[in-house]
Structure 1
Amino acid sequence: MDGKAPALLAGAWPQEVSTLSEEKMTQDPIAEEQAEAADQQESAEVNWEQEAAHWKAQAEEHQNRMLRAMADMDNLRRRVRKEQEDLAKYASQKIVEELLPILDNFERALAADKDSMTLESLLTGVDMVHRQMVQVFEKEGLAAIAAKGQPFDPHVHQAVMQTQDPEFDSGVVVEELQKGYMFKDRVVRPAMVKVNE
């Protein structure tokens, strides 16, 4: 080789390198921006997919909770309905159990020897059964309504007759014709009374 070739190459090479590096420099920012934009787009897509998956999971969890709550509510309704039916069906069981001994006493009296029964023993038996009945009813909340000598009260008394008696003030119950009863705070049957004018 002659001495010109290396000089030629030596002179041309730095120019090509500088041209290439200038091209690279002018192309690199655009490529870098495009690469960054592509990375950001991929990152945004990944973030969006993650966000969508997160909200989908949240929605499924809330739906499952709602379905469980609805099932619990249905079960509660069924249980309450069953309890109410049982309560209505067996509401009188307690009083029936308390009346059974009275029924037993009636059956014993009916089975007793009729020839040896006296009027006195019959009255004693009837009195005993009456006291048992009163105890059962009082225990359950039944009470007789006071009538004779009380001021007439249309809420608890039913006037069926009027009279003029100087011993009583006007509007006072003179006589009770049939007992009235209250069950707890409710009138079961008003007392039938005769009222002074």
Structure 2
Amino acid sequence: MTETDEASPARRSIGATRNPASQDAILAAAEAVLLENGLGGFSIEAVARRARAGKPTIYRWWPSQAALLFDVYHNRKRINFIHPDTGNVRDDLRAYLSGLLQTWREGGSGEVFRSLVAKAQGEPAALAALSAYMAERREQSGRIIEKAQTRGEVRADVAPTLVPELLSSFAWGRLLTERLDVSDAEIDAVVDAVLSGIKP
């Protein structure tokens, strides 16, 4: 039986090149399955049924559950999260932390990321992917501090990637313990505590 026969009348694959409509349907199905069934009920088979796609197509584009979940998370976070650039380091860091927390609170992004962290505890490939993703995020977020250093708001000896990592570590702790409803006062306190150690 061919993939087309197996999946008919499902969405048609166009080989190794991703069909945008099929890709979007699979990502939406994966997110829905995860949010409805949790990580324990998440499977490629369930995603394939929901998306009306063939399992071979999904495995060709995403070699593992973790790879598929990363794409779901990236797709959702691109919609909801933008790195701030207000011209003021306190406002930038405050917007960074509050934006990250808001992204994880809304639209299922937090649940997806929690699942990725859980996957990484038992799957070396998922851990490697998570580590690579976090290294990239530190590099991107560190530009907030680099810009602040050029404005003289942050000491030159401060490692740019360390500061957003401190803030994201706070957010991680809240995410993993389901305490994402952080008040404005708490955000201010965290940001001010960090700033007190990096100002000139």
Higher strand share: 1
Higher radius of gyration, 1 or 2: 1
TM-score, structure 2 length as denominator? 0.23
Point out which structure has higher relative CO (alpha carbons under 8 A, 6+ apart).
2
TM-score, structure 1 length as denominator? 0.23
